Structure 1
Amino acid sequence: MPSQQHKRYSECQIQRISAQEPNRKVESEAGVSEYWDEKNEQFECAGVAVVRHIIYPNGLFVPGYTNSPRLTFIEKGRGIRGEMIPGCPETYQSSQEAREGRQRFLDQHQKVHRIRQGDLLALPAGVAHWCYNDGEEPLVAVVLLDTSNDANQLDRNHRRFNLAGNPKQDRFETRPRGTEEKLERNVLGGFDTRILAEVFGVSIETARKIQSVDDRRGNIVRVERGLSVVRPPLTREEEERERMRGSQPNGLEETICTSRLRENIEDASRADVYNPQAGRLRSVNSYVLPILDFLKLSAERGTLYNNALMAPHWNLNAHSVIYGLKGQARIQIVNEKGEAVFDSVLRQGQIVIAHQNFAVLKKAVGDQGFEWVAFKTNANAMINTLAGKTSAIRSLPLDVIANMYQTTQEEARRLKYNREEETILLAPTSRSSRPQTAFA
C-alpha cells in the first residue's frame, strides 16, 4: 500500500487552479458550517480540507473530534473553548459550603480558554473540543484539516465524529420531494439504548436524550440563558501578561496536558517582518508553539498595504493554503514548467493553494490593501525569495547573474541591489503604484 506521503505527491497533476469558495453549507440552530470541496485537485494535491464555522451569539458548537490534526484561525469575534484531552485532570473546580463544614463540588472540568480574533488554535487528531460564543457578534472560525497527515489512519476524507446532536444534511444535497430531511447521528446514537443506559447508570429516557434521537438543532445549538462554566476572571493586567507571554516557557514540563494550544497572531507589534511602506508578516511554527511539531503544521498572518508586494518566493517544504481575510490581491502561482497555473485576484473569503515549490507572487490591489492567513503543512515551513535583501538572487555573484540572464554588469547589479534594504515585503514603486484596472 502506498504511504500517505506518496499518495499526496502522486496526485499533484495541476494544470490550472482557481480561487475557491465554499460549495456546501450546513445550517444549524445557532450557526452555519461552510465546506470547501476537498475533492478539488488543489485540495487533493495538498492533502487538506477546509471548513468555516460561523457561530452566532450564545451559540454552542457541540463537542466532537476529527480524524486529522487541525489548525483554527479566529477570523472574527470572541468566545471560550475547551479541549477534552484524555488522561488530563479536571483542574477547574467549583464548590460550595455544605453541612458540617464540608465542601461539595458543584462542577469540575478540564481547563477552558478564552479565544478572540487573531487566535491560532492547534488540536491533534482525535482530541474532542467544544466552543461557545459569549460575544455580541458572530464568531467566525476558519479550520484547516491535514487529512494526509500520518496521524490520520483512515482515508483522506474529512470525518467529524460528534459527541452530541445530529448533524443536518447540507442544503445543496437534493432529496426526493416528500422525504424527510436526513440526519446523521452522533457516535452515542449508534449504540443500543439499554446498554448505554447501563453504562452511564441512567434511565432509558436519559439515554435516549444523549443519543439525540429527536434533536434537529444540528452541530451548533442555542444556549438560552448563557453558558455557565467554571473559569477565573481575567483582569486587564492578566490579559496583558497572557498576550505578552508569547513563546516563553510555561514553567512546566511540556506535556499534552500543559502545552499551549493557542497563539494570537493578530498583534502588529509582534510581527516578524515589518515595512512601514509595505506591510507586515508573522509566522508561527513549532519554535513559537511547540504543539505544532506534533501536528506537523504551521501558519503565517500577513498584511500588504495598497499596491505593496510580497516578493516572488517558494515554499521549500510545505503546501500553503491561503485564505483572504480582507481586501484583495492579484496572486500569480507558477509551476515547474514556467506556466502560471493561477493569475487572478483573491478576495475576502476565498482560498487558493500554493503547492510546495510553486513560485508565488502577491500584489495588493484596491484601497483596502490585502490581509490573509496561510496554513502550512509543515511544523517549520520555510520559504526562499527571488527578490530583496535575503533572496536567492541576492546570494549570487554578479557575473553569474549577468551570464544566466544575458544582461550587462550594470543590469545585473540593479537586479541584485535595487531592493537593497527590503526583504520579502516590498513597497510599491512609482510604476507599480498605477491602478491595476485589468485585475481590479
Structure 2
Amino acid sequence: MSSEANSHLPRYKNEVYEFEIVITCKEKNGMRSLTRHVYFSPPHVLLSPINLNTDALYSPLHHNPKLASYLPLINTMAKHLALAFSLCLLVLFHGCLASRQQSSQQNECQLNQIQAREPDNRIETEAGRIESWDYNQDDLQCAGVAVQRITIERNGLHLPSYTNTPRLAYVVQGRGHLGMVFPGCPETFEESEQSDEEQQDQQQQRQGQQGQQGQFGQQGQQGQQDFEQLDRHQRVRRVKEGDVIAIPAGVTTWSHNDGDRSLVFVTLLDIGNNHNQLDQNPRRFYLAGNPQDEFNQQGQRQQGQQGRSRQQRQGNNNNNIFAGFETQLLADALNIDQQTAQQLQGQNDNRPQIVRVQGRLDFVEPPRSQREERQLQGQQGQQGQNGLEELFCHMKIKQNIGKPSMADVFSPQAGRISTLNSFSMPILRHLRLSAERGFLYNNAIHSPHWNLNAHEIVYVIRGSARVQVVNDNGETILDDQVRQGQLFVVPQNHAVLQKAMSNGYEYIAFKTDDNAMINTLAGRTSVLRALPDVVLANAYQMDREQARNLKYNRQETLALSSSRSSQSQVLVGVNEM
C-alpha cells in the first residue's frame, strides 16, 4: 500500500508505540536473530499515512474536527492491527524454525563424496549383537537418519525398549516373534487355563516367598492372587524374512528368535522426523537389563555422559529407565516389595540388550491357522479404510514385501521390485516413511532415477552391484561396487544408477516420505520418453532419428535387462580370448 492510496483519510497522532520483535534461532554454526519493527497506535488516535516500504515514524497532523466520524473505522482497524501483531509473531517464529531447518539441511547436504560402508559400532551380547552406522557421517546427517543391524541368536530375547524416533525395520533373515505395546490398548491375548507346569511353578514360588513378604501389604497380596491365575497381554506378531515393520516413536517393542537360525533386523531410525522432539541424536530407552550405548561407543554425546555420572552419584551403574528411580519410591508406585523393585532396576543384572532365554519362552499365541485367518480378515476389512482397522490399536504394522507375489514391477529377464507406502499400509502416513525391496538378476539394471521428495537409504541384503550417485553439479559423489552388509545413502534429487553384478543384487531401501516418488531416466516411464524428439535433438545435438531411438530403445520401466551394448562388449571379450 502506498501513502497516496490513503491520503484522503485524515489522521491524527498523539503517540506511536514501536515494538521491536527479536527472535533468536540457535543454529549449528552459531546464533541467528530475526528482527522486525511493528508500530502501533491506540484506537483513540489517528496516524498519518503510513508507507509500508519504510520503517520511519510519521509526524503528527493537526486535529481534524471530523475525528468522531472516523472512530468506528479506527476501532475496527485497531482490532485488525492486534490480529496482525499476533500473526507477525507467529510468522516470525515459524520463519525462524524454517530458517534453522533449511540452513542446517543445506549445510549438511553439500556432499562431495559418499561411501558405501559397513557398521562402525558393534556391541556383543550373550545372545546376539547390535551394530550401528555412525550417524554423524555427512550422508546420514543429510538424510536425518540412523541405521542399526540387530542379530538375535537362537532362543535370544531382545529386551523391551523404545526410541525417540519412528522406526522402519526389515527382517533380513530368520523368523521369530515381535511384541509391540500400544499405550492404552487392551490386552487381547489371554490364557483360558493354566498348564500344570505353571501351577507347580507358582506353588513353589509362593512357598519360597511366604517367609520374605511379611511386610508386603494385604492389598498387594490380594492383587497378586487376582492376576497370577491367567496371563493376558497385547498382541504378539510372528515375523519372518521379507517383513517390513512400522514402529511409531515411543512405542515399546521386544523380539524373540524361536527359529533355527539367526534372526536379523535392519532398522532405520528417522531422527529428522517431527515426532522426535529431542535433539538430533538417536536414543533408545530400555526397560530392562544393563544396556550399553548403542550409538556413541566413544562418548560423543555429552548428555549421555551427564546421565551416566548422575547414576553413579546415585550409586547405581544400571542404565534401564527403572534404575534412575529411588528403589522405595518405585516399590510404592508399583505396589511391590523392594526386592522386586531392585530386580526391575537390574541392580544385580549385568546382562546387556539381548539375553538368552532359559527354557522355552511360553506366552499366549493363537494357532498358526487362526492367525492366518485373522490376517486375512484384517486385510479384507482394511480395503474400505474404515472400521476397526482404522483404530490405533488395530493398525496393520507389518507387511511382507520379500515374496515374489508382492512384486509391483517384474521382468523375467531383469528381476522384481516391490514398494510399500502409506496407500498399502496406512500407519506409514503417521510415520512419514516408506520402503522398497529389490531383487535384480545377474547384470540387470535398476533404471537410473532420482527421488522427488525423499532421501533413500539402501542396505545390501545379498549379492553386489556397481552404484553411481551424481549431484547437482554433475559430479560423481559415489562410484563403488557395493556388497552384502553395506549401506549407502542417496540424497533427495541426486541421480543414482545401480547395476547388479554376476552374483545378482538384493536390497532394501528406506525412504523418508510415506509416498516417495521417483523420476526415471530410462525406460517406458522416463523423463526422456516424455520429451518431444525435437527437444532431445536440439538439447543433445543429435538428429531426430537418434532422439527417437533414445526414447524408445527401452520398453521396460524400472527393472532393466542387460543392454545390447554390454552384451556386445562381453562377446568382443570372448572373441579376443
Instruction: Name the TM-score, length of structure 2 as normaliser.
Output: 0.70
1:187 aligns with 2:311: no
Q: Give the aligned partner of residue 355 of structure 1.
A: 491
Q: Give the aligned partner of residue 260 of structure 1.
A: 396
1:127 aligns with 2:261: no
1:374 aligns with 2:471: no
The correspondence of residues 24-423 of structure 1 with structure 2, limited to 5 A, is 24-96=121-193, 105-168=229-292, 173=297, 185-235=319-369, 238=372, 242=376, 245=379, 248=383, 251-366=387-502, 368-419=503-554, 421-423=555-557
Q: Give how far 1:253 is off.
A: 4.8
Instruction: Name the TM-score, length of structure 1 as normaliser.
Output: 0.91
The alignment partner of 1:252 has SS state of helix
Cα deviations across residues 267-308 of structure 1 (Å, max 9, x unaligned)? Answer: 111211001101111110000000000000000000111111
* Aligned amino acid, residue 463 of structure 2: G
CA distance in 1, matches of 2:118, 2:525: 34
1:12 aligns with 2:148: no
* Aligned amino acid, residue 332 of structure 2: E
- Are the structure 2 counterparts of residues 391 and 170 from structure 1 closer, same or farther at C-alpha, using a change threshold of 3 Å? closer
CA distance in 1, matches of 2:108, 2:115: 17
The alignment partner of 1:269 has SS state of helix
Q: Give how far 1:240 is off.
A: 11
CA distance in 2, matches of 1:372, 1:282: 11
CA distance in 2, matches of 1:362, 1:89: 46
CA contact 1:398–1:409 (8 Å) conserved in 2 = yes
CA contact 2:131–2:294 (8 Å) conserved in 1 = no
Query: With CA pairs under 8 Å and 6+ residues apart, which has the higher RCO, 1 or 2?
Result: 1
CA contact 1:50–1:144 (8 Å) conserved in 2 = yes
Q: Give how far 1:345 is off.
A: 0.7
CA distance in 2, matches of 1:172, 1:161: 14
Q: Give how far 1:9 is off.
A: 4.0
Q: Give how far 1:224 is off.
A: 1.2
Structure 2's unaligned 5+ residue stretches are 1-24, 26-96, 196-225, 300-315
CA contact 2:282–2:295 (8 Å) conserved in 1 = no
**Percent of residue pairs bearing the same amino acid type:** 48
Structure 1's unaligned 5+ residue stretches are 176-181
CA distance in 2, matches of 1:51, 1:238: 30
Q: Give how far 1:95 is off.
A: 3.1
Larger Rg: 2
- Are the structure 2 counterparts of residues 114 and 412 from structure 1 closer, same or farther at C-alpha, using a change threshold of 3 Å? same
Q: Give how far 1:311 is off.
A: 1.3
- Are the structure 2 counterparts of residues 138 and 239 from structure 1 closer, same or farther at C-alpha, using a change threshold of 3 Å? farther
* Aligned amino acid, residue 533 of structure 2: L
Q: Give how far 1:173 is off.
A: 4.9
Q: Give how far 1:242 is off.
A: 4.3
Q: Give how far 1:170 is off.
A: 6.7
- Are the structure 2 counterparts of residues 157 and 184 from structure 1 closer, same or farther at C-alpha, using a change threshold of 3 Å? farther
CA contact 1:94–1:108 (8 Å) conserved in 2 = yes
- Are the structure 2 counterparts of residues 240 and 231 from structure 1 closer, same or farther at C-alpha, using a change threshold of 3 Å? closer
The alignment partner of 1:129 has SS state of strand
CA distance in 2, matches of 1:297, 1:143: 12
CA contact 1:167–1:183 (8 Å) conserved in 2 = no
CA distance in 2, matches of 1:17, 1:97: 57
The alignment partner of 1:260 has SS state of coil
How many residue pairs match? The answer is: 426
CA distance in 2, matches of 1:103, 1:340: 63
Q: Give how far 1:214 is off.
A: 2.1
Q: Give the aligned partner of residue 179 of structure 1.
A: none
RMSD (CA atoms): 2.6
Pick the structure with more helix per residue: 2
CA contact 1:95–1:105 (8 Å) conserved in 2 = no
Q: Give how far 1:76 is off.
A: 0.4
